[in-house]
Amino acid sequence: MTTPKAPFDVQKIRKDFPVLNQTVNKQPLVYLDTTATSQKPYSVIESVSNYYINDNANVHRGIHSLAARSTKKYENSRQKIADFIGAGSSRNIIFTRGTTEAINLVATSFGSTFTAEDEIIVSLMEHHSNFVPWQLLSERTGCKLKFIQITENGELDMNQFDLLLTEKTKLVAVVHISNVLGTVNPIEEIVAKSHNVGAKVLIDGAQSVPHVKVDVQKIDCDFFAFSAHKMMGPTGIGALYAKEELLKAMPPYHGGGEMIHTVTKEGTTWADIPYKFEAGTPNIAGVIGWGVAIDYINQIGIDKIHDYSDMLTRYAIEKLSTIDGLTIYGNAKNRGAAVSFNLKDVHPHDVSHFLDQKGIAVRAGHHCAQPLMTELKVDATNRASFYIYNTFEEVDKLVEALKEVKAFFTF
């Protein structure tokens, strides 16, 4: 296979990522674990330290200049994030610790009115963060959980989904791009069908926002959850997008400072959205760093990022497929930049350990998707994932190292 041409200067981009400039086990680092967390460019790292060096002050509270400066930068980031996903207004963006907390917010707040009569549909390819909160809600309220099955190709079984939807369905919660199979799900179709029966839809966008152009208003989803650290921003910060009428109707998630309008002995009234859902001092540096990560993505262009990740993924799949005894999980037509695989008779942890000796970082385990592992009839897989700073040579290194693993474990 001829090596495709990248739509940007990858070597120049790599220089923006200090962590890549190191050896691991005396080999140049090959970082193929972006699906777990992405690396950060200098501009993001510097924005976080600059905040603490120059601006550090609490937001929305003080009158003094530092507080005003911090608040301005913080709210500018909220606007950038809103613009990036086509939210319409920054009022629709609630800051959380990440995708996981955003989904828990919905389960606790929106789910507070659910009863034993209600049903929630999730798929069997969900990350635990879009699975366990609904199980907890089901335990609290008695509402019923129903599951979308997965086809042989690793796609959602949309015929079976049609059969699950009823007028009892209160919520459908599905992942946009699977962190294991790479499958891109037909979320616009899911939203339209769910709305037809009066159900709301939550999309887990942790793996999609870093890779594809997302327009939440076009998708017409009711909730959309995503994390900064998957898209070159800091860890510990993420957001929930939700439609305004839902946010206005939903009760607060946490109580405390910032989320109130008035507090008296008799009771409390809530601040306007989004602040009603943001109790306590937030991760200010994280939010500011996230805004800079979005600047970085915008500078390159999300479409180019998508195209390049796609080239690397297709190149990897083609090369990996030449290894005898290697199984790739998921063969969806429309797919993202994660490739899960196993080598026959070699435990994924052994594969990953061997690769680490060569400086190659891949993920091994259940990827926080145990129901999916059960469907695939495996305990664990290896997963290589790709982003703008990876190269075709790194994919070649992975493939060569896997051939060595195979030889090493063949008696």
Ligand X SMILES: Cc1ncc(COP(=O)(O)O)c(C=O)c1O
Residues carrying an active site annotation: 368
294/402 with CB nearer ligand X:
294
Report the C-alpha gap between 269 and 272 in whole angstroms: 10
Q: In sequence order, which ranges of 113-204 are alpha helices (DSSP H)?
A: 132-141, 158-164, 187-196
Number of residues in contact with ligand X under rule CB under 6 A: 14
Q: Which is nearer to ligand X, 77 or 227 (CB)?
A: 227
CA–CA distance, 383 with 341 (Å, rounded to integer): 6
Q: With contact defined as beta carbons under 8 Å apart, do 369 and 180 qualify?
A: yes
State the nearest-atom distance from the C-beta of 229 to ligand X, in Å. 6
> Cβ 223 to ligand X, closest distance in Å?
13
Which region among 72-80, 123-131, 215-223, 358-366 touches ligand X (by CB under 6 A)?
123-131
- Dist. CA 308–CA 4, nearest whole Å: 9
Nearer to ligand X, 210 or 359 (CB): 210
Question: Would you tell me how many other CB atoms lie within 10 Å of the CB of residue 151?
Answer: 14
Q: Which of residues 238-297 bind ligand X (CB under 6 A)?
A: 238
Q: Is 47 in the site for ligand X (CB under 6 A)?
A: no
Closer Cβ to ligand X, 367 or 406, answer by number: 367
The two three-digit tokens of residue 174, written as one number = 């599905």
For the CB of residue 258, give the shortest distance to ligand X in the complex, in Å: 22
Determine the Cα angle at 211 with ends 79 and 178, to 5°: 115
Select the residue interacting with ligand X from 47, 77, 123, 129 (CB under 6 A).
129
Nearest residue (CB) to ligand X, 122 versus 305? 122
Place of tokens 């608040």: 71
Cβ 218 to ligand X shortest distance, Å? 21
Place of tokens 């870093």: 210
3-state helix, strand, coil in the chain (%, to 5): 45, 20, 40
What gap in Å lies between CA 211 and CA 230, rounded to an integer? 10
| 70 vs 77 by CB, closer to ligand X | 77
Read off the tokens for 25: 């086990």
Q: Given the complex with ligand X, which of 179 and 381 has the nearer CB atom?
A: 179
Cβ within 8 Å of residue 34, ≥6 positions away: 210, 230, 337, 385, 386, 387, 390
104 binds ligand X (CB under 6 A): no
Shortest distance, position 71 Cβ to ligand X, whole Å:
25
108 binds ligand X (CB under 6 A): no
Question: CA-to-CA distance for 290 and 279, rounded, in angstroms?
Answer: 20
43: enclosing H helix or E strand: helix 42-50
Dihedral, CA atoms, 89, 120, 158, 247, nearest 10 degrees? -10
Binding mask 200-229 for ligand X (x = CB under 6 A): ----x-xx-------------------x-x
Among 98, 111, 336, 359, binds ligand X (CB under 6 A): 98
* Cβ neighbour number for residue 11 with a 10 Å cutoff: 10
Report if residue 179 touches ligand X, rule: CB under 6 A.
Answer: yes
100 interacts with ligand X by CB under 6 A:
yes
Question: Residue 181 interacts with ligand X (CB under 6 A)?
Answer: no
Dig out the tokens for 75 from the structure: 């709210």
Q: Report if residue 99 touches ligand X, rule: CB under 6 A.
A: yes
| Residue 37: CB minimum distance to ligand X, A | 8
Task: Out of 40, 127, 211, 358, name the contact with ligand X by CB under 6 A.
Answer: 127
Residues that bind ligand X (CB under 6 A): 98-100, 127, 129-130, 175, 179, 204, 206-207, 227, 229, 238
